[in-house]
Structure 1
Amino acid sequence: MKRIFRFFLKLIFWCFVVSIASVVLYKFVPVPATPLMVIRYFENEETNRTLWKHDWVPMEAISKKLQLAVICSEDQNFLNHNGFDIKAIGKAFERNQKGKQSRGASSISQQTAKNVFLWPQRTWVRKGFEVYFTFLIEIIWSKERILEVYLNSIEMGDGIYGAEAAANYWFKKSAAKLTTYEAAAIASILPSPLRYRAHPASTYIQGRKNWIVKQMGYFGRLEFKTDNESK
């Protein structure tokens, strides 16, 4: 029993070491692939489709309009919370209790943690790991780095991952040159990128796009705090 206990202690210890080391590494190094990319690759391979477009670009090469659009679409309190939007979680819980459909309340930080480090299935075990990795990236990364990784890793179409690939696929241009409405169009499909198209937009996506553009106007200029300001 002592040997088994020691084995599990060592296992837990090394799990902490590896997870923390990976988060520290990705603070400086581009994320080459995510678990979802690999899963989708093998799913597509079964249907003779091996589409996988993912071009990592630095934050400076991603339009400020797209940065703001995804914040307004997915997590308007992103710059202020510590990884979890408690008010949004509470509202989602109330809606679920009433039997009303809700998109959930995962913050951009939570989505980044899930996309980069975890598998996509919804289970309590995965949710627990998501909380852990969200906590780590909020401590180790800056808000700007979290958004940079998010914009370079998230699924933005069928086999399309990241802002650069999405801009090229949907609008035949680089992510740096997206207009306000093009950025809003890409952000509008994020709830279900395999179901919706950014261009040409359906009536539903056009409505979401217009709503996101209005929210961008209300939000104002996007500015990240420096390390000294956030301390």
Structure 2
Amino acid sequence: MAKGRTPGAKSRRKPAARRRGFTLRDILRWAGRGLAAVAGLWLFFVLLFTVVNPVVTPYMLAEGWRQGGVSRDWVALGDMAPEVALSVVAAEDANFCLHWGFDMAAIRAALDEGAGRGASTITQQVVKNVFLWQGRSWPRKALEAVMTPVVELVWTKRRIIEVYLNVAETGKGLFGVEAAAEQYFGRPAADLGPRQAALIAAALPDPKGRNPARPSGFLRARAAVIADGAATIRADGRAACFED
């Protein structure tokens, strides 16, 4: 008989704990934590980029890999000719100073006219270029719709247009107006005239297919309209949010 054991006493061993697998609740909890971490990281970069210039964007990386490199020189908005921002806003988003990231009038017009008309604001394009990927997928558009008001809330209008003018694709392997000004006109963005700024703005919808240095008849006509639009938004106050 084993020492210290009462005769007839039963061993009281605890039953082995059952191994518990992941439940749906566990998966949802970890997914929620992951999304919160990603959202927090993104918000950190939104705050950081209010004062720090984005070094590179996902599209720049993709184009650099595809073409063996890209050209981009960051230039502060105050160091560009005033006509640059005026022309780009007139061409891409004339109501830039009046909306909070979405131009509802342009959206309604796009819905009425069909897929041939775009309605993306400059803020939406900045969000896409700096934080997301190219293309027309619904997931990207959904993220863009969520991110755009946050960027409008955190960044000033001057900062938004400054970032856009430095990250927008302006030619084959070119990003930003400084690279475009040097490539097409052999001068810095600070020395661009109204016609040259308007030609660069006119090429933005198709930067790989339009050459401001050798403009087609369509590009010249479009640039003339943009130059008139730039003068109009300056005169009626729609450029007040980004002008000195």
TM-score by shorter chain over 0.5: yes
User: In 1, Cα distance between the equivalents of 2:144 and 2:193?
Assistant: 33
Do residues 216 (structure 1) and 230 (structure 2) align? yes
Q: 1:60-139 to 2 correspondence within 5 Å?
A: 60-96=78-114, 102-139=116-153
Moved more, 145-154 or 129-138: 129-138
So what's the TM-score if we normalise by structure 1? 0.90
Displacement of 1:62: 1.4
User: In 2, Cα distance between the equivalents of 1:113 and 1:187?
Assistant: 19
User: In 1, Cα distance between the equivalents of 2:29 and 2:232?
Assistant: 56
One of 33, 41, 44 as aligned partner of 2:64:
41
One of 161, 176, 184 as aligned partner of 1:147:
161
Displacement of 1:197: 0.7
Matched to 1:27, the amino acid is T
Are the equivalent residues in 1 in contact too, given 2:178–2:188 (CA < 8 A)? yes
2:15 alignment counterpart: none
Give 5+ residue unaligned stretches, structure 1: 45-49, 227-231
Do residues 29 (structure 1) and 46 (structure 2) align? no
User: In 2, Cα distance between the equivalents of 1:103 and 1:40?
Assistant: 26
State which structure, 1 or 2, has the greater radius of gyration over its C-alpha atoms: 2
Displacement of 1:186: 0.2
Matched to 1:223, the amino acid is A
Alignment CA distance shift 1:115-1:225 (3 Å): closer
Moved more, 132-141 or 149-158: 132-141
Moved more, 191-200 or 213-222: 213-222
One of 198, 201, 217 as aligned partner of 2:212:
198
Moved more, 67-76 or 211-220: 211-220
Do residues 183 (structure 1) and 197 (structure 2) align? yes
Are the equivalent residues in 1 in contact too, given 2:63–2:69 (CA < 8 A)? no
Do residues 14 (structure 1) and 28 (structure 2) align? no
Displacement of 1:61: 1.1
Displacement of 1:225: 7.0
1:229 alignment counterpart: none
Displacement of 1:58: 1.1
Displacement of 1:3: 2.1
Q: Which runs of 4+ in 1 moved over 3 A?
A: none
Displacement of 1:51: 4.0
Q: 1:164-179 to 2 correspondence within 5 Å?
A: 164-179=178-193
Matched to 1:203, the amino acid is G
Decide which structure has greater helix share: 1
Q: Deviations over 1:27-80 (max 9, x none)?
A: 110111111111112222xxxxx2410101111111110000000000000001
User: In 2, Cα distance between the equivalents of 1:83 and 1:217?
Assistant: 23
Q: Deviations over 1:7-31 (max 9, x none)?
A: 1111111111011111101111011
Provide the alpha-carbon RMSD of the alignment: 1.4
Moved more, 216-225 or 57-66: 216-225
User: In 2, Cα distance between the equivalents of 1:162 and 1:36?
Assistant: 13
Are the equivalent residues in 1 in contact too, given 2:234–2:240 (CA < 8 A)? no
% of aligned pairs identical?
A: 35
So what's the TM-score if we normalise by structure 2? 0.86
Give 5+ residue unaligned stretches, structure 2: 1-22
Displacement of 1:150: 0.3
